[in-house]
Chains A and B, each alone.
Chain A
Amino acid sequence: MNIKQKYLDYFSKIEKENEKINAYKTITKTEALEALENNKNPFPVVFADQISTKGIRTTANSKMLENYIPPFDATVVERVKQAGGVIVGKTITDEFGVGETENSFGTSAAVAHSKNITGFSGGYKGLIHSGAQKNGLFAYIPTFGLISRYGFISVASSLDGIGILAKSFANIQNAMDIVTGKDEKDSASHSSDIDFLNLEDIDLSEQKVGNINKFDNFADVEELFEKLNVPIDKVTIKGLEYALPAHEIISAGEFATNMEKYAGIGFGHRADDYNNVEELYKNSRTEGFGKAVQQKIVFGNFVLSEGKYEEYYVQALKARTMIKENLDQELKNFEFLIAPINLYYATGFNLAGLPSISIPFGIDGLLITTGAFNDKRLLEFGKKIVSQLAGEKS
């Protein structure tokens, strides 16, 4: 069967089933078939509808951007397209990454519902790990800065690393190989000469692993590690209990200001009824944003307002620094830290800008982090566990 027919079959399947699985905001059949022309190395990808795609509407799953068609590609999109990536659709997200939605895990659903699709979605809050666990996928969020944020419709810029979802490790490796590296359009982006395609085979028993689980629902993973002969030590990350509230405050502050540009002027939803410019802003924003988005903006503006900034925002930044320092400290003793897939840990890693990988396993799944820019070792460690797991099963 030729490649084009494969894609056509996939599209006819997904067009029928999307309503049930709620994966796609926009299915890009025409664009995909075009991208297949003269493509030597086509591979299917989906982008969360928060990642800008030139000529393809990008809504952030919001009425505000219902009809917004970006005139440019996000850097990840540009790089994926150059490497042969064929965009099959834009996937459903929380509204602007934080609000109401038909499906928080649209990207996971699309990847899970295919043979070989690689998905790209915001790494905000480490939420994609939950989607991956739910859908039996791997999710990888690299060190902050390894993937350019340019073109990702900002939630909270300092927490907006892009993550990758796939059914196979090979797809994650391939994606990392393509999309990482310096981008002149994002000053937070890092150059990288890591060879993600060739991972070394490692001996699990020689790895230094800390277990930061605070709750007692992790027995399955602990048993697995014992079986695989991986020594693990219990570790407590001090201050991690502040990760969620700190994340809430910092992200709200950044979110509120990131959302200021949606005012019915240059782009986005514009109210029909207004008598003056104040009303234009107000009505456009009230109509264009869902309730949860509005609430987050209000909260964000509260924590940034005069008098409250010191009390909330500065405190949250201090907590962030502390959490990062404590994680860095433990990562000197242990190369890897493991935890169940849970926002309690994932937000901490997100605040610290550390890479994380999730492996679907057992009840709560397995989340692993390592030091900044130690991404290759993290992938090697994860891959080895996965291959052992596969061995266990067979």
Chain B
Amino acid sequence: MTNNYETVMGLEVHVELKTKTKIFCNCANKFGDKPNTNTCPVCLGLPGAIPVLNEKVLDLAVTAGLATNCEISRIGKQDRKNYFYPDLAKGYQISQDENPICHDGYLDIETSRGKKRIRINRMHIEEDAGKLIHEEGLGSLVDNNRAGTPLIEIVSEPDLRSAEEVLAYLQKLRAILTYTDVSDAKMNEGSFRCDVNLSVREAGKEEFGTRVEMKNLNSFQSIQRAIEYETARHIKAVESGEELIQETRGYSQDTRKTYSMRSKEDAADYRFIPDPDLMPIIITDEKIEEIKESLPELPDARKARYTEEYGLSNYDAEQLTSSIEVATFFEETVKNGANPKSVANLIITEIFRLSSPEDFDVNISPAAFAETIEFVDNGRINLGSAKKIIEIIFENPEKTPESIIFEEDLEQINDRTILGKIIDDVILHSKKAVDEYRSGKEKALQAVIGQVMGKTKGKANPQLTIDILKEKLG
């Protein structure tokens, strides 16, 4: 049934820029300080205080634009977007209506269905609003520390067709922004926020279905679930002939459902006007050249290098280049002498389980990680013990792999004679599984291996165990 429909999505991503000061004043651009400490007349919107554009914001926006294959505008302006909201001190947000800094770019993504190009419509600079805090007994309070935080909004074309593509696009975008040091791009801290525009149409149709905009999606998981929920809701509506309305919807992590926030009819007329406090933006060819030359190696280039240099698969290379922190950790580990493929494998299976690539917070040094991997590769410990070592170091970073092997008695049993005796014993006591295996049930062997691992506290060399078992039962 689902195959008869196509989900069409475009994304609006807001990214907080990594500048020392805010976009229009000299206040520190910092997350998590005491409320209203990083404020001044300009970001409080006091009468007579006027903004002056922080040039660094332009540099970072151009950097992001060049890194996503965008055209860069030579002349730009900033516009006021007028609306009333208590967190918006001036009563308008300074953004860009026409003439965004960057436009017409693209990103290449990699999914299980292969490679795909997602077009970027535009990228513009704007200021963030303050934050409303609801305090019991005090009502709503405004913290203006965030007011005036520089943002870029990156708007994609409606080229995305599945949650998998959306996540791949976001991951690639995040990677580029962190590589170029444009942003921390942390979803959990709000420095990387995504709104999804979604509509569903019957496969093969040209015209779009009714579009909804989904907001408040603050994790990759929420985005995936919201897209799945909303797609199902649209299909159901289309099939039952129910009318969908164009609206803005939120997503609740508790109910795992989307809900209506406001309909199109409530949409404000923003009365855009070029901001008369600010001067036109001028970006010279020299500036663009200068930034182009300073661009670091980008995720796609790094990915290509990983597949060529280290023989990694496209998928593995994509995973490892998904953020600068992951890539740096990978390369540092390899530099410490570990086998690249083993490193890739263990990062993707084990490290990512302990810390997601998005907020890669790894409590093990590349040197210790490399040492652990070498112990696996030279047969001193098995993979299960390696995982145990990593977990222990995550909890107790002062420990070394060597000390853990000793303390936890993880030395792998590679001795054929010792292992043979244990296996003989297991075979004697696992008659049922042994019989099943002998009668052709391959799977039953797993139970026997499990017994061997149990008896050796997981220290048996897995390959050697299989070899011996097959000999003895064969």
Partner-B contacts on A (CB < 8 A) = 51-52, 58, 60, 65, 68, 70-72, 74, 149-154, 156-158, 184-188, 253-254, 256-257, 259-263, 265-268, 277, 281, 301, 304-306, 309, 313
B276 touches A157 (CB 8 A): yes
Task: Across the interface, name the chain A residue whose C-beta is closest to B89.
Answer: A266
A-B contact sample (13 more), CB < 8 A, given A150-B48, A151-B49, A257-B92: A52-B48, A68-B47, A70-B48, A72-B46, A149-B50, A184-B52, A185-B42, A187-B52, A187-B277, A257-B80, A277-B86, A306-B269, A313-B273
Which of the residues A185, A257, A277, A301 comes within 8 Å of B50, measured between beta carbons?
A185
Query: Which residues on B sit within 8 Å (CB–CB) of A151?
Result: 48-49
Q: How far is the CB of A74 from chain B (nearest CB, A)?
A: 6
Partner-A contacts on B (CB < 8 A) = 41-42, 44-50, 52-53, 80, 82, 84, 86, 89-92, 142, 269, 271-273, 275-279
B49 touches A72 (CB 8 A): yes
Which of the residues A154, A253, A265, A313 comes within 8 Å of B48, measured between beta carbons?
A154
A265 touches B52 (CB 8 A): no
B90 touches A260 (CB 8 A): yes
Q: How far is the CB of A323 from chain B (nearest CB, A)?
A: 17
List 15 A-B pairs, Cβ < 8 Å.
A52-B47, A60-B47, A70-B48, A74-B48, A154-B50, A154-B277, A157-B275, A187-B277, A257-B92, A259-B91, A261-B89, A261-B91, A266-B46, A267-B47, A281-B84
Which of the residues A51, A257, A259 comes within 8 Å of B273, measured between beta carbons?
A257
Which of the residues A72, A185, A266 comes within 8 Å of B52, measured between beta carbons?
A185
Given known pairs A257-B92, A266-B142, the reply for A301 and B271 (CB within 8 Å) is: yes
A304 touches B273 (CB 8 A): yes
Q: How far is the CB of B134 from chain A (nearest CB, A)?
A: 13
Bound form: Cα–Cα A267–B279 in Å: 27
A266 touches B50 (CB 8 A): no
Query: Which residues on A sit within 8 Å (CB–CB) of B276?
Result: 156-158, 254
Query: Which residues on A sit within 8 Å (CB–CB) of B278?
Result: 187
B45 touches A186 (CB 8 A): no
B89 touches A265 (CB 8 A): yes
B86 touches A265 (CB 8 A): yes
Task: Across the interface, name the chain B residue whose C-beta is closest to A64.
Answer: B47
Bound form: Cα–Cα A301–B53 in Å: 26
Q: How far is the CB of A254 from chain B (nearest CB, A)?
A: 5
A260 touches B82 (CB 8 A): yes
A266 touches B47 (CB 8 A): no
Q: How far is the CB of B39 from chain A (nearest CB, A)?
A: 10
Bound form: Cα–Cα A267–B90 in Å: 11
Q: How far is the CB of B88 from chain A (nearest CB, A)?
A: 9
7 A-B pairs with least C-beta separation: A260-B91, A157-B276, A304-B271, A158-B276, A151-B48, A153-B47, A52-B48
